[in-house]
Amino acid sequence: MGIDAMRRLMRVRLGAWLAVVAMAPAIAAPPAGRVVELDGVRYVDQGLVASGSLAADTVDFLGDTLGSFSSLAVARGSWERRGNAYAATLWTLPDRGRNDPDAGLFYDYPARLERLNLDFSAQGVLRLKPLGGVTLLDFEGRPFTGADPGTGTRVARGHTLPVPMQGVGAGKISLDAESLAFTADGHFYVGDEYTANVYYFDADGRLQGVIEPPPAVVPRRDGALAFGSLKAPQQGRRNNQGVEGMDISPDGRRLFVALQSALVQDSAEGDASGRINTRVLVYDIARDPLPNAPVGHYVVQLPAYRRDGSAAAPDRTAAQSELRAIDDQHFLLLARDGNGLGAGNEDRAVLKQILLVSLAGASNLVGTAYERSNASILARRDATTLRGDIRPAHSTVLIDMLDPAQLARFGLSAGPNERGKTWLSEKWEAMALVPALDKQRPNDWFLLVGNDNDFIARHCVMRGASCDSPIDNDNRLLAYRLTLPAR
């Protein structure tokens, strides 16, 4: 072959190689990204790089409609890279089952973990396949129930726990599972909505112990425990606003527990925009997986927004729905509005963000009246301003999940009427951080974000009964690529 012919062949091969690189997905060669700083450290959002879904009518290992992801975790040791693709086993956590609280309708839904296979293709497609699961059992080896407990309780190993006294789920411990965190030995914690407790299970799903929250967080009405979800308490966690976010620090020493929004006594009077000051508890689990009290207790302020997306005064607080720890002082917090597919209206989503939060410099409320009693952290009950002796954590937005350019890359939209695009669902409640395993970018990570579809499916089954809805709200998973400080 002559020199000119060889040069032509090399140009052809180089052109083909460049074409492949140009077509390669963001998981192989991410762009420069959007840079934010917190505590003088840079974090980079490289953008949305993959999306995938599992049909809303998928049936799980117990024969019920699979209820999507109130929380999720990548099984230890399962995450692997295969060329430019990835694979893993996911543990996902559904909540209390299909229900209609307005109608008082609940199912005797046994709490469980779902096990799924995840394939993360080089084309940016996430594929999910159910692989079975684990039923959660109480101290005596009985299943929990998703049914509302009303005012019913019973004592188990020194803990007063919610139990329906009659009707659906009678005699079983009620559990509305909302957050999940695994320890290095395969044990795991589950955060509960009814009590604001954290339940500790062995690897087989058997309850081992309970972390009860400080007195300020415990829901009470007229002095009595008020674990039910159908009526607001007078103090403590708001009904349906329990332990929505939880994680263990990478070194395994700290357990972070976040309430979905402000406690009743910390809520400003007026509309729902007064619930911005939520609480985050930090427990030392280095030696004891069931500590009696937190070592950290902080205020984190959530975004407020206008439901219709206008610039008028906010009338809503973005509920936090998941927490993932970066180190023992910093974490990601998922804050979202109540708009989107599954909300029962056609309001366009206006706020779904992943915040980067720092506890450095925040006031630690451990041992104070704000922890021991129902003393409010607000300077005035008609405003969200904190008392002068309380400094909240500081935060910044790392990811805007409603960025239209990012959504459009995967055929998604924030509203219901964009032709040919899938309307983003209302409830995004699950996150997991996994390394990109990229030698060229050793500090790159993927953030997996999952929705809670509330069991909404045209063909739904719950404990053998039909629970059909007029729409399908698929189980969906998104993946963002981030550059984080060395962990």
Q: Give the residue among 148, 179, 161, 328 at the shortest CA–CA distance from 254.
A: 328
pLDDT number for residue 32: 65
Domain assignment present for residue 197? The answer is: yes
Domain assignment present for residue 162? The answer is: yes
pLDDT number for residue 104: 75
Instruction: Give ∠ CA 160-161-166 in degrees, rounded to 5.
Output: 120
Tokens of 309: 């997306």
Q: What is the pTM of this model?
A: 0.93
Q: Domain range for residue 174? A: 31-483
For the chain, the C-alpha Rg in angstroms (whole number) is: 23
How many structural domains compose the chain? 1
Q: How many CB atoms lie within 10 A of CB 377?
A: 24
Determine the residue type at 360: A
How does DSSP assign 211-272, residue by residue? EPPPTTTS-EETTEE---SSS--SBSSPTT-SEEEEEE-TTS-EEEEEESS--GGGPPSSSG
Rounded CA gap, 412 and 414, in Å? 7
Domain assignment present for residue 4? The answer is: no
Burial environment of residue 439 by CB neighbours within 10 A (0 to 12, 13 to 18, 19 or more)? exposed
Domain assignment present for residue 26? The answer is: no
Element (H, E) at 6: helix 3-23
pLDDT number for residue 486: 83
Determine the residue type at 282: V
pLDDT number for residue 174: 98
Reported residue count of the chain is 487
With H, G, I as helix, E, B as strand and everything else as coil, classify residue 63: coil
pLDDT number for residue 100: 83
Domain assignment present for residue 140? The answer is: yes
With tokens 């029962």, the residue in question is 344
pLDDT number for residue 11: 40
Rounded CA gap, 485 and 325, in Å? 12
pLDDT number for residue 473: 97
Task: Give the residues across from 320 on adjacent strands.
Answer: 335
Rounded CA gap, 381 and 84, in Å? 54
pLDDT number for residue 18: 33
Domain assignment present for residue 17? The answer is: no
Question: Positive or negative, the Cα torsion across 342, 348, 350, 352?
Answer: positive
Q: Are strands 394-400 and 422-423 parallel, antiparallel or unpaired?
A: unpaired
pLDDT number for residue 29: 46
CA distances from 444 to 33, 45, 78 (A): 12, 10, 18
For 277, phi then psi, to 5°, come to -90, 85
Tokens of 2: 């002559």
Tokens of 352: 């779904």
How does DSSP assign 410-477, residue by residue? TTEESSTT-TT-EEPBS-EEEEEEEE---TT-TTEEEEEEEE--TT--SS-EETTEE---SS---EEE
Residue 144 per-residue DSSP state: P
Please check whether residue 244 is in contact with residue 257, taking contact to mean a CB–CB distance below 8 angstroms.
no
Q: How many CB atoms lie within 10 A of CB 61?
A: 15
Tokens of 417: 């009427």
Provide block-wise average pLDDT over 10 residues at a time, the chain (487 residues): 40 35 41 87 97 98 97 98 96 95 86 98 96 98 97 98 97 98 98 98 98 98 97 96 98 98 97 97 98 98 96 96 97 98 94 98 98 98 96 98 96 94 97 97 97 97 95 98 90
Instruction: Give ∠ CA 171-176-180 in degrees, rounded to 5.
Output: 125
Domain assignment present for residue 2? The answer is: no
Rounded CA gap, 304 and 410, in Å? 28
- For residues 392-411, b (16+ Cβ closer than 10 Å) or e, as one string? bbbbeebbebbbeebbebbe
Tokens of 135: 């039923």
Domain assignment present for residue 399? The answer is: yes
Tokens of 1: 């072959």
For 70, phi then psi, to 5°, come to -80, -20
Task: Give the residues across from 235 on adjacent strands.
Answer: 220
Q: How many CB atoms lie within 10 A of CB 460?
A: 20
- Cα–chain center distance at 22: 34
